[in-house]
Amino acid sequence: MKFLRSIPIVIILGGLFYALWSGILEPSEWKVPQSAEIIKAKVGEAQLIKEGSKIFKTSCAACHSLRYKKIYPFFVNAPNVKPLFKILMKEHNGFLTRDVYESAFALQLEGLKAAFGSVPPDLSTAYVYLGEGKLFNIIKNPQKVLPGTKMPNMQLNDKQVLAVSAFMKTAILPTAKETSRRHLIGIIVIIFFIILAILLALYRKVVFEEDNIEE
């Protein structure tokens, strides 16, 4: 009877935590088209990342930085900026923090702002905050997702868009190899705790029996 009373409580609290932690409350408005998903499966992530790296460096980096991958807009190659950029890269080990980057290249960033209405954002974390679906659709057709944006349509095909997206993912999320490594560690740790729970339960039983303790 006591057990029955706890069932509704477990259902309510369990349901609450499931709803909050399973992600079902945040359905994504934008999706990667089925045709692109097929291409993704066929080409493979490693190949897409390689291709995406090239496209990003030759197209997206015209305006955007990807600081977590140490990629900066084309303006850093201008003759009047390059010496400073080289010194900064050397001093900061290739990664320019936001304060250094924004203050050293304030003029150039203002120039981009004048052309586009706002400074094209750094895309290091964009894959996560936009989500794969929205990011795909922005790259494919910026005006459709961001009405009024001055970001040009780069006329990339589905495979190229997927490649850029896969490359941007590597700036913030671990690679497939690293993810597998973490999962493997996770499995070992979880098994350890489960075995520990079983051993403790058995030990408790023995101790309770030996010391004649009622449950």
Partner 1 sequence: MNQSVKEWFESRTGLGRIFHKEMVEYRVPKGLTLPYSLGMLAVLFFVIQIISGIFVLMYYKPDAKLAFDSVNYTIVQVVPWGWFLRSLHAVGAGFFMAIIYTHMFTGVYYNAYKNPRQLIWITGWVIYMVTILLVLTGYLLPQGQLSYWASEVVSEMPTAIPLDIMDKVSLWIKGGFSVGDITITRFFALHVVLLPLLLIVLVFLHMQFFHQTGVTSADGREVHGNEKETVPFIYVTLKEGVIIAIVLAAFSYFIFFNPAPFTPSANFAPADPMRTPAHIAPEWYLTAFYEIFRSIPGKFLGFMATNMFLIFLLLLPILDTSKKKSATKRPLFYFMYLLFLLSFAVLSIEGTQPDTAQSIVIGQVFFFINMLFFVSLPVIAHFEKKKEAIQ
Which residues here bind partner 1, judged by CB under 8 A?
2, 5, 8-9, 12-13, 15-17, 19-23, 25-26, 67-68, 95, 97-99, 102, 121-122, 124-126, 128-129, 131, 172, 174, 182-183, 185-187, 189-190, 193-194, 196-197, 200-201, 203-204, 207-208, 211, 213-215
Q: How far is the CB of 8 from partner 1 (least distance, A)?
A: 5
Say whether 71 sits in a helix, a strand or coil.
Answer: strand
Q: How far is the CB of 87 from partner 1 (least distance, A)?
A: 20
Angstrom distance (rounded) from CA 186 to CA 180: 10
Q: How far is the CB of 33 from partner 1 (least distance, A)?
A: 21
Angstrom distance (rounded) from CA 127 to CA 48: 15
- The H or E element containing residue 147 is none
Angstrom distance (rounded) from CA 101 to CA 136: 27
Q: What CA–CA distances, in Å, run from 130 to 8, 31, 139, 210? A: 37, 11, 11, 60
Nearer to partner 1, 38 or 207 (CB): 207
Q: How far is the CB of 42 from partner 1 (least distance, A)?
A: 27
